[in-house]
Structure 1
Amino acid sequence: MNAAVSPAKIGPMQVLIKGRIDAVRRHDKTTYTRIITPAPDPYSRPQTVEVRSKQRLGQQGEEVAQLATLGGYARKPFRSTDKETGETTMVTPIDMTLDAIE
């Protein structure tokens, strides 16, 4: 999806990703596209995201603008101990997912 998308047309839990395709892989009829976004300024690092889709979003090195749905799921909780206070808490990591709107 390289068509121009207006921020006003983006719905809840949707994001617009702009960047360059770094790598593409397929697994079980799903394409995973790794996109590197431009750094916000000369002193920060670019962000890297992975978008799932049914079809290929483009070729490696190609610039893309892709609308995606943001999702996520909780992983297995683990116990964490604060080194300063000794207090233990349960931490539940959350993995975020991006699914291309095709």
Structure 2
Amino acid sequence: MNAPATASPSQGIKLVPMQVLIRGRIDAVRRHDKTTYTRIVTPAPDPYSRPQTVEVRSRQRLGQTGDEITVLAQLGGYTRKPFRSIDKETGETTMVTPVDHTVDAVE
């Protein structure tokens, strides 16, 4: 049960926990400091649903806008500052801690 899953037999990629294989078209690329941010649009699973969009951080450019790519990435994340939220129906106050997810290319 702890053995890594094979993403695709033809590619020979072994996924480990917290990794994801992303396949799609590069929609946009931007650079900030020494990090490249690549926005990837994935194919819609069926004709009636929307395609998913993810942004992958990397040190090097993954491709040009319009390129079809497959990239292995590491999932991560961090919590932001908590804030109070009031339920409009009950008036109950709760603390909400937002979580931001990160996706970094395995290079």
Shift of 1:43: 1.1
Q: 1:97 offset after TM fit, Å?
A: 0.2
1:30 to 31, 35, 50: 35
Residue 99 of structure 2 aligns with which residue?
94
Report what 1:51 is aligned to: 56
Q: 2:72 — aligned with what? A: 67
Q: Which runs of 5+ in 2 are unaligned?
A: 1-9
The Cα of 1:42 is off from its aligned counterpart by 1.0
Give the whole-Å Cα distance in 2 for the aligned partners of 1:63 and 1:99.
Answer: 18
Runs of 4+ in 1 over 6 A off after TM superposition: none
What's the TM-score once normalised by structure 1's chain length? 0.92
Structure 2 length-normalised TM: 0.87
Which structure would you say has the larger RCO, counting Cα contacts within 8 Å and 6 or more residues apart?
1
CA distance in 1, matches of 2:62, 2:12: 16
Distance 2:89 2:12 in 1: 48
Unaligned segments of structure 1, at least 5 residues: none
Structure 1 residues 94 and 16 mapped into 2: Cα distance closer, same or farther (>3 Å)? same
Give the number of the structure whose residues are more often strand, by fraction.
2
Q: Number of paired residues? A: 98
Once the two structures are superposed, residues 4-55 of structure 1 have per-residue CA deviations (whole angstroms, 9 ceiling, x without a partner) of 354xx10010000010000001111110000001111111111110000000
Partner of residue 90, structure 2: 85
Alignment partner, residue 4 of structure 1: 11
**Aligned twin of 1:16:** 21
Q: CA deviation at 1:83?
A: 1.3
CA RMSD of aligned residues (A): 1.2
